[in-house]
């Protein structure tokens, strides 16, 4: 759905559910099957995006990806632009726009004058939004600005976990939610251990995708 969907959507899933891994694969796939589309990947800070850009680069270089590209296009896949903030391949060599296939930015980066066919936000809501109302409002303002960056017929796909009942997820459309009990990725014993290491409200938000009233609850 990250690759072929058309509507703005939101995926909420618990910590450790491979959301970002799926997103890395999807961005690589989009660059291959829709090489003229421009994708933006946004996280909370610029430094948060670098590991994902590096991961996508490794996906491009893998022999499995190379075999797929050769089967489709009868040519090898080559990186024509590769740095900490963007990636492009030879598949977009004839694009007159010249901008990178995949760009990344933190929410405080410059957005002026940029336009994208696909925008992916990943964990733009984090622990800062939990404790700071100013941070929550700033995140919301940046998210609303993304609507101006989205090309006609483009889409915004959001992934992450909730941190506060008034965070930016209140603005994000078409939510799909998968908590720690639905996915089966974490055993009951592991969940018990995780729960014992954090406050009840934090576990509820990040693993059960729900909000409880206070950090000062008496009982779990």
Other C-beta atoms within 10 Å of 6: how many? 9
CB under 8 Å to 37, separation ≥6 — which residues?
Answer: 30, 31, 101, 117, 118
135-177 confidence digits (pLDDT tens): 999 999 999 999 999 999 999 999 999 999 899 999 999 999 9
pTM of the complete model: 0.91
CA 169 to chain centre: 13
CA distance linking residue 107 with residue 110, whole number of Å? 8
Per residue in 80-136, pLDDT (tens digit) is 999 999 999 999 988 887 789 999 999 998 888 899 999 999 999 998 999 999 999
- Strand 9-13 vs strand 150-160: parallel, antiparallel, or unpaired? parallel
Nearest to 28 by CA among 64, 146, 42: 64
Token pair 């009840």: residue? 200
Cα distance between residue 207 and residue 204, in whole Å: 6
Instruction: Look at residue 201 and tell me whether its pLDDT is greater than 90.
Output: no
* Residue 37 phi, psi (nearest 5): -75, 145
pLDDT of residue 46: 86
């Amino acid at each position: 759905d990250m690759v072929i969907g058309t509507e703005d959507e939101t995926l909420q899933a618990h910590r450790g559910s491979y959301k970002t891994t799926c997103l890395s694969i999807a961005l690589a796939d989009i660059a291959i099957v829709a090489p003229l589309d421009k994708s933006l990947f946004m996280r909370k800070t610029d430094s948060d995006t670098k590991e994902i850009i590096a991961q996508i680069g490794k996906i491009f270089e893998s022999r499995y990806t190379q075999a797929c590209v050769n089967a489709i296009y009868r040519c090898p896949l080559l990186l024509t632009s590769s740095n900490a903030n963007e990636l492009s391949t030879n598949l977009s060599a004839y694009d007159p726009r010249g901008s990178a296939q995949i760009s990344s930015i933190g929410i405080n980066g410059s957005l002026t004058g940029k336009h994208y066919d696909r925008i992916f936000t990943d964990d733009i809501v984090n622990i800062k939004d939990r404790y700071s109302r100013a941070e929550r409002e700033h995140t919301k303002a940046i998210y609303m600005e993304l609507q101006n960056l989205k090309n006609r017929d483009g889409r915004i796909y959001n992934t992450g976990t909730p941190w506060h009942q008034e965070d930016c997820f209140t603005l994000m459309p078409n939510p799909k939610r998968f908590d720690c009990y639905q996915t089966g990725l974490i055993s009951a014993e592991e969940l018990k251990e995780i729960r014992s290491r954090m406050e009840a409200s934090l576990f509820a938000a990040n693993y059960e995708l729900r909000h409880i009233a206070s950090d000062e609850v008496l009982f779990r």
